[in-house]
Amino acid sequence: MTGALLSEHGNPADVDALASGVDADGRGLPSKAWMALRRLGWTVAPPGGVRVNDRIVRMAQEQAGRVLRSVRWRADVIAGVLATWPADPDRRTPTEWDQVRAAIPGGERLPSGVIRSRTRQITSYVRRHGRLPLDVFELEPVPDTARMLLLAACDGQQATIERSEDGHRALLRLQLPVRPDPASYADWTWVACPIALPPTVPANAVLHLPTLRPTDGKVRTDLAFTHPVPKARRTGHTIALGVDWGLNTLLSAGALRLHDDGRITALGAGAQFRAGGVLAKQHRLRRISEHLHTKTGHYARLSDPALNGKAERLVEEFRRVSQRRSHLNDALARSAARWAVDQAVATRATVIYLEDLRSLEAGGMGRTTNTRLSQTVRGQIARWMRHLAAETGIAVVTVPPRNTSRHCPHCLTPLRHRKAPDRPTTPGWKWALCPDCGWQGDRDQGAWRRIAARGLTHQTKTVTDRTSGQTTIPTVIDRLEATAVLTTPVSRVDRSKTGPTRPCTNRPAPRRRRAPSPVRPQGRTGKRPEGHAPTDRPRLPRAAHRHQGVTTISTPTTGPHRPHGAALGAGFHLHAHASPPRWRPPSRISRSARDRWADQRR
């Protein structure tokens, strides 16, 4: 039924009528899609001989209405690109960029990557047909319909949901047919579906009817719930967390404080979230998927019936690898967003400032760097960060990324970038030095200071997008930017030397066990000897030679960054390295533990 609605009303006239927001009598259309379609008279009936109630028709109309409303935005973008088609589609001039943005509604804030992708789509159509398409309806086919049940369009006569007394489970009851072609209402029956609620659902949350999606022989539930949270503020922030994006170091974050007299000081040295092992696994899966895609295309060009079985197996393997990549990206995005929000909660920050890198394109930086940039999950991390921060009343605001890594956070002087702090004469990009005030530090550490300082000084210019609800600072004002500098606090503690230095011997402490040996034999194997190697296994487990702390990964200390364990397929948590939250002081490793760790590495 949803496909029939899309095929019948997927035309310019009907899409414009739905997007106008008024019906034929001039009355405003309801916000619910199925009610809007009924107001316009767009109805649909089930196939002959099949008996369904009106709630099933509502779900089909709701799904079709949401898809048709999304077509309006794509139609406006395609129309704007076609109206200002450039002389050279591969390289627009600055004047042509201004023209195409002016022709698209809201094009001033539209990422350039969206315009480029639509341009490539139209160029491919011109290459096939020899002319420009008329509109999006000629450029794209009718959208496909997803297999889902939008129970939000139903009422209690079709589905109900209740939460148990302990709060850990919920019971979903809905009417389902007992046969594929129900001929009467007697062929429908009530089915009880118990749902285990994850710990992320608060105890005081109100559950709403979910969306059901059959996937791989199981039924997945997209459960929506509402619960009261503190309201995030746009202005009035005094403590802010700045977050900078990176490649090797995925996130670099730190907090700044805005004082009453206008001074801005840093609260600590900042923290980092590194996921080199996870990114290496992504790279390995990407190479596998590219290889499978090439082989599948080769089999399709051969058109040999004897190879159909192999081609089907390759397609299934390609689907599984793509699913693994999607799950890995989602896990990485959730982990990084959770870490950033935890840092904001620990420092009592009321706002998180991010770089607005939606217009960043992977091009002109080498094949390897371009591939790594295209594989980043910045959009997913920002989305999860907004979702998690909203639960604690923390605002997430994007700021312009101009010169955040180029200027000094203390004096706004252009920095000089070097390869490493101990190699000040070797050109590079990782280490930054200020020729004016003498500040030096990691490039990413200076970037989050600039981002947070820019957000604190420009917080009165924060605007909220009415469509997406996201808060952003659209432009940088030079008058406010001049005040976005950090003030180094002056230490009032006298650190002058008052006595001789305590002697320190070069002889290492003996390696001893933290716990004493057992006093009696343990089983038939006898007394366990003192040492760090277990005796119950013939060899050490995989990756046991690495230092696997709570916040560490298997990163080599010498040579280039080569996480071999991740490339061979080790787990996710062994390769996610995050600085601990500020409420837990960093643990100090004793000399004996350091010696044991060195022996394991050798």
pLDDT digits (tens, 9 = 90+) for 316-325: 998 899 888 8
Nearest C-alpha neighbor of 149 from the set 52, 39, 43 = 52
Nearest C-alpha neighbor of 235 from the set 456, 485, 469, 475 = 456
- The answer to whether residue 518 is domain-embedded is no
> Is the domain of 388 the same as that of 293?
yes
Domains contained in the chain, number:
3
Strand-pairing partners, residue 432, are 417, 441
Give the SS3 label for residue 315.
helix
Distance CA 6, CA 478 (A): 50
pLDDT at 275: 82
- The answer to whether residue 166 is domain-embedded is yes
> Is the domain of 322 the same as that of 254?
yes
pLDDT at 584: 41
pLDDT at 556: 46
Q: Which of 85, 112, 139 is the last residue of a domain?
A: 139
> Is the domain of 108 the same as that of 11?
yes
> Is the domain of 163 the same as that of 135?
no
CATH at residue 165: 2.60.40
> What H or E segment, with its residue span, contains residue 194?
strand 188-196
Token pair in block for residue 53? 């109630």
> Is the domain of 198 the same as that of 342?
no
- The answer to whether residue 83 is domain-embedded is yes
pLDDT at 339: 92
- The rounded average pLDDT for each run of 10 residues, N- to C-terminus, in the chain (602 residues) is 91 90 89 92 89 92 92 92 91 90 87 88 92 90 87 91 90 92 91 90 90 88 88 89 84 92 89 83 86 88 84 89 87 90 92 79 55 65 90 90 87 86 77 85 88 92 83 88 81 70 66 53 52 50 44 45 45 61 47 56 51
pLDDT at 491: 56
> Is the domain of 394 the same as that of 472?
yes
Domain containing 179: what range? Answer: 150-226
Q: Are 174 and 184 in contact (CB under 8 A)?
A: no
Distance CA 94, CA 97 (A): 5
pLDDT at 304: 83
- The answer to whether residue 220 is domain-embedded is yes
> Is the domain of 48 the same as that of 134?
yes
Q: Are 590 and 314 in contact (CB under 8 A)?
A: no
63-121 pLDDT per residue, tens:
999 999 999 989 999 999 999 999 898 888 989 999 999 999 888 878 888 898 899 99
Distance CA 511, CA 445 (A): 37
> Is the domain of 56 the same as that of 204?
no
- The answer to whether residue 89 is domain-embedded is yes
> Is the domain of 317 the same as that of 459?
yes
Q: Which of 139, 168, 196 is the last residue of a domain?
A: 139
- The answer to whether residue 304 is domain-embedded is yes
- The answer to whether residue 491 is domain-embedded is no
Q: Tell how far CA 536 is from the center of its chain.
A: 42
> Is the domain of 207 the same as that of 276?
no
482-502 pLDDT per residue, tens:
888 888 765 566 667 777 877
Distance CA 327, CA 143 (A): 25
Side-by-side strand order, sheet with 211-215: 149-150, 211-215, 218-222
Distance CA 41, CA 5 (A): 12
> Is the domain of 269 the same as that of 374?
yes
555-578 pLDDT per residue, tens:
444 554 444 444 444 455 556 666
> Is the domain of 221 the same as that of 271?
no
Distance CA 244, CA 251 (A): 6
pLDDT at 516: 54
Token pair in block for residue 298? 């080769």
Distance CA 152, CA 150 (A): 5
Q: Which of 202, 226, 250 is the last residue of a domain?
A: 226
Distance CA 593, CA 404 (A): 40
- The answer to whether residue 550 is domain-embedded is no
pLDDT at 561: 47
pTM of the full predicted structure? 0.63
